[in-house]
Amino acid sequence: MNKIILASASPRRRELLAQIGLEFEVIPSRAEENTHSRIPWEMVLELSGMKAMDIYNSLPKEKRKQALVVGADTVVSLEGKILGKPDSFQRAVDMLSLLQGKTHQVYTGVTVLYLKEGKQAPSKISFYEKTEVTMYPMSGEEIRAYVSTGEPMDKAGAYGIQGKCAAHIKEIKGDYYNVVGLPIGRLYQEIKNCEEL
């Protein structure tokens, strides 16, 4: 298998790749996260592609030949409104106040870039997963107590399903790992397929 390069600083994504036994290197993308679309699945595909291409282009030509560059991006969507990462305590409280007691969608886009033998331009695999998440009602006090832990501050939608917010998750439909930040089963299958090409 080619060397996997994760174009993300996310500790959750690192943990998920390690969990299934993949060897990889982390080179976080510094690409500007500006997207032209406000449609969730289009946004995450566009942003994951930008991150992957940013790192692919930064690699020496020899390294590109052995690399599978993986970019990923996750957003939370509620009734068509996209919720990114909160930039303040109050913004996290506001986001959770919107999500509590309702069902929302989590979209993660993934782009894999790799160079086929004899080619100049990289080949691309790009996909997204969508998971429905229903939260129990939360009181204002519960929301503020959770935000006070600091856990929501670097997470789309201001919560971590794998952390303390698990107490407030009623139901999920779809890939749990997608909500954590990387649909790892689908990614593994896609990488396996591209290695066989």
Give tens-digit pLDDT for 66-106: 899 999 999 999 998 999 899 999 999 999 999 999 999 99
Give tens-digit pLDDT for 16-49: 999 999 999 999 998 887 888 889 999 999 999 9
Residue of 113, 144, 133 lying closest to 180 (CA atoms): 133
- The answer to whether residue 54 is catalytic is no
**Active-site residue, selected from the candidate residues 54, 73, 94, 175:** 73
In the CATH hierarchy, which top-level class contains the domain 3-196? Answer: alpha beta
Instruction: Tell me the three state secondary structure of residue 157.
Output: helix
Which residues contact residue 49 at a Cβ distance below 8 angstroms, ignoring those fewer than 6 apart?
71, 109, 111, 124, 126
Question: What is the C-alpha separation between 38 and 17, in angstroms, rounded?
Answer: 29
Residue of 150, 167, 166, 170 lying closest to 158 (CA atoms): 150
